[in-house]
Structure formats: C-alpha cells, structure tokens
Amino acid sequence: MACLIAAPSSGSGKTLLSLSLAALARRRGLRIQPFKVGPDYLDPQLLTRVSGQPCRNLDTLLCGPEWVRRSFHWHGSRADLCLVEGVMGLFDGRGPTSAGSSAEVADLLDLPVVLVVEASRQAGSIAALVRGFRDHGPPPVRLAGVVLNRVASDRHRALLREALDAVAVPLLGILPVSPALELPSRHLGLLPPQEVNDLDAREAAWAALAEHHLDLERLWPLLSPPAALPQQQDPIRWCLTPVATDSAGDALKGAPLPLAIASDAAFHFRYPEATELLGALGLEARAWSPLADEPLPAGCRAVVLPGGYPELHAPALAAAHRSLGALRQAAAAGVPLVAECGGLLLLGRSLEDQQGRRHGMAGLLPFSARRGSLSLGYREAVGERDGLLVRRGERLVGHEFHRWQLTDDPEMSRDVASCDRLWQLEGWGNPRRAEGWTSGTMHASWLHLHWAGCPKIPRRLAAAAVRAAPLTLRPVS
C-alpha cells in the first residue's frame, strides 16, 4: 500500500521528498502515480511534470470521502508505485479541526505516514515532536518512519539519530542542507513548472537526493500501489451516474461540442477531472491563450476561465485586444462563461498589477481589482438565485485563495452581462458575505470548486452549451 508523506508544518520538505521519489522512480523506468491532499494546484503541477502522470487531488471537503477512496484506488492500482503528498501540518484541517487533513486521508485510506521534519534548529527535542505526532489523535496515525530535512553536519546527524532511537521510530532518510534543492516560490506558493528554467537539472538533483540520502530498502515498499476495488469503476463515470437532474439529454450524443478553456502562464489552475468530466459529457476542451491574444476558437459553445496569475501579466492581458474583444462578443451572444478566481479578474473593468499600476480588462463585470490581504480557506456557499451553474438555496463547498480584492465600480453599466450576486459565502472565522456574479449565461466567483464533488455543475454547463449557438466572431481591431 502507498504511504502518505506528511510533516509538522508547511515548509518542512514534503514536496521535496515527494518530487525526489517521483524523479528517481521515473528514471528507473517505473510508473509512479502521485496524489496531493487538499485543494492545491501548484504542488500537483510539479508532481505531474516530474512523474509523467496527472497528479490527483484527494480532498474530502471538496469531493467527499467516497470520491477520494475511488479515485485513489482507480488511479493508484494502475501504477507500479504510488505516493500521496500531504497538506500543511499532519493534523491541519478546516479551522481548528482535522477535517480534510492529511491525517484524515491517511485514516480513510489506511495509509502509513512518513513524517518529514525540518531539523535544522533542533536536536534532542525532535524525540518529543515525533512522539507527539505519532501518539496524537484522533484520527489515529500509523507512523512508518521519519525523514529529517536540512541536516548540516555529521555531529548533528548523530544527535538526531540517537534522539529518534529513544522513541523507537525508524529513520528513513537524512536530507542535507543545499540551496540547490530549495524550491522557488512566490505569493501563492511554488512556481509552476513552466516557469522553472532549470527544471531538468533540478529533476536530476532530486533523483540523486533520493538515491544517496534515503533508505530506499525501507521506503520503496511503502510506495507499493493499492489494490483495485471490487467491481471498480472509473470515478468520472461513477460521479456522473447518480446525477439524475439537470441532464443535458440526448443532444450530447453526437459530435463533441467545442469549449474554450484559457490555458497559459496567466490561467492554469484547474483539476484534471474538470476536462475529463466535460469530455464524458460530450464537450471537447480546446486550449485558448488570452495572454497570446488569441481569439476564442471558432464555433465554441462555452468559455472557461480558470484561476492563475493574471496579476503578473496584467499589461499583456490589457493589450490582448482580440482576446478581450472575443470575450465581450461571447458574453453579448449568450455563450456560457465560467470564471474562477484569477479568471474572474479578467472580467472586471481594471486590474492593478503588483506595482499598483492599473490596466483595463474585459469590462463585463462592475469592479476594479487591486492587491489586498490574503483570503484563504474553505467556504460554504449558498446560492442566492438560479443561475448558469448554481440554483437558489443550493449548498456547495469550495476553496478561496487569493491576495487581490474587488472594489465595486458604480459608474460601470451591467448591461453586457445583467448579472446578480451569485451566493453567500461563509467560512471558519469569516463573516457571511455576498460574493460572485451570476446570470443565465455567466458564473464568476473567487471560489474554486472541484467538479467531481458537485457533478451537477459540469452537467449544467454541458446543457447550456447545447442551448448556445456556435460563436461567430466579428473582426476586432
């Protein structure tokens, strides 16, 4: 059975260990399937690149325990090796609870835990820390061993070994201090792989790190894949099966209908299940780059703007006249438009970049965006009214993670989209507030949803795409 790689806190080395094992496995010609606990997009992108397999998120809050179990066994059982990278600290979940935590997922899937500990500023105290994580619960944890990170000298190594011997916890590896092994990051997390210039060299270094500094005789068996479930079913098909309402009907049984998904350095936060669900419903996802000022694909029946980093590319997006003009035409023509987080920023009147300079955007929604404080955490959303994807009174769980804030623009007309507020959001320690915009053809929000946890959403988008006329664009000067 696979193991879950966890830590006492973020920044301890979970991702470094996961990438190192994935890089070594691939260099040895083995197919390794990575998973990531929680809603994160950036760690999975790196794990996807290094392993060569799409990393799958295991989030019990966004998708539910049954989806997590089915996805893990379906994808994991098809690989030679399998690993699960945890999120934050081992017991960190929603608010002060362990709901959605790495420990909860390890308990759900019956996975042993490998604890990565940042050991640079401790010696004997590590025994108390490891004992605490081993014995804390619920949920209970099966601690398979510890990997120590950022160990600087032979003397330090000897001190740590002796301390761990006292608590009878296996030592599975000792990673040295090395600036070359540090993972580059910025305000929302790690750099995406397409922005890491020396990624090939880093992959080689990660593989060498695993080969020379880990106890592979003990670790490799912990990466054995899970068994297939009895009468196992593709989780995409499974999550669509129980949805009996809002069916798109027989109209999607013919040729696939084209759907444009923004895909470039500014917009790349999406789960692989989103396009898989759309494909199963008869929609063909076509990549489209606003950053390259591409027009929307001819004849597209819907547009999806995922999250990403538009604030880093605001000048180029403001100059993308063909792309912005195509968005305005699509909205005016009633083509369904879905925007999440960074995708939402493209639809406002203006967007401030990191230097505070203001840049014009599509002007479809009445707000301006500027840098603000961090908004982070799971949110419960309650629909305010019937719209493109959400119905009045429906409850969904999503995740919010951004540093930009919106300011209403009362001078701007809403005539293009005629949108109303989408839903009420509430999260632990956060007051209830109205958020997002919706209409019969638009859904725009800060909130990230995992569509495997709410399959009515892609079904409704598919149904709207069937009703929409194929987009015909006029030339944009």
Q: Which residues are catalytic?
A: 341
State the Cα–Cα distance between residues 447 and 196, nearest whole angstrom.
27
State the Cα–Cα distance between residues 168 and 80, nearest whole angstrom.
30
C-alpha atoms less than 13 angstroms from C-alpha of 117 in its C-beta half-sphere: 30
Sign for the pseudo-dihedral over CA of 65, 2, 171, 48: negative
Phi, psi of 388 (to 5 degrees): -55, -50
Contacts of 283 (CB under 8 A, 6+ apart): 252, 256, 257, 258, 259, 301, 302, 461, 462, 465
State the Cα–Cα distance between residues 172 and 148, nearest whole angstrom.
8
First to last CA, the chain: 58
Residue position matching structure tokens 């009214």 = 385
Tell how strand 32-37 and strand 56-58 pair up. Answer: parallel
Give the DSSP per-residue string, 166-183.
TTT--EEEEEEP-GGGPP
Phi, psi of 121 (to 5 degrees): -120, 30
State the Cα–Cα distance between residues 263 and 355, nearest whole angstrom.
24
Phi, psi of 219 (to 5 degrees): -75, -40
- C-alpha triplet 23, 119, 201: angle, nearest 5°: 25
Residue position matching structure tokens 């980093």 = 309
DSSP 186: E
Sign for the pseudo-dihedral over CA of 251, 254, 260, 261: positive
Which is nearest to 422 in space by CA: 372, 370, 387? 387
Q: Are 443 and 460 in contact (CB under 8 A)?
A: no
Pair of tokens at residue 399: 């995740």
State the Cα–Cα distance between residues 205 and 193, nearest whole angstrom.
15
State the Cα–Cα distance between residues 175 and 7, nearest whole angstrom.
14
State the Cα–Cα distance between residues 296 and 328, nearest whole angstrom.
11
Q: Are 71 and 2 in contact (CB under 8 A)?
A: no
Three-state DSSP at 389 gives coil
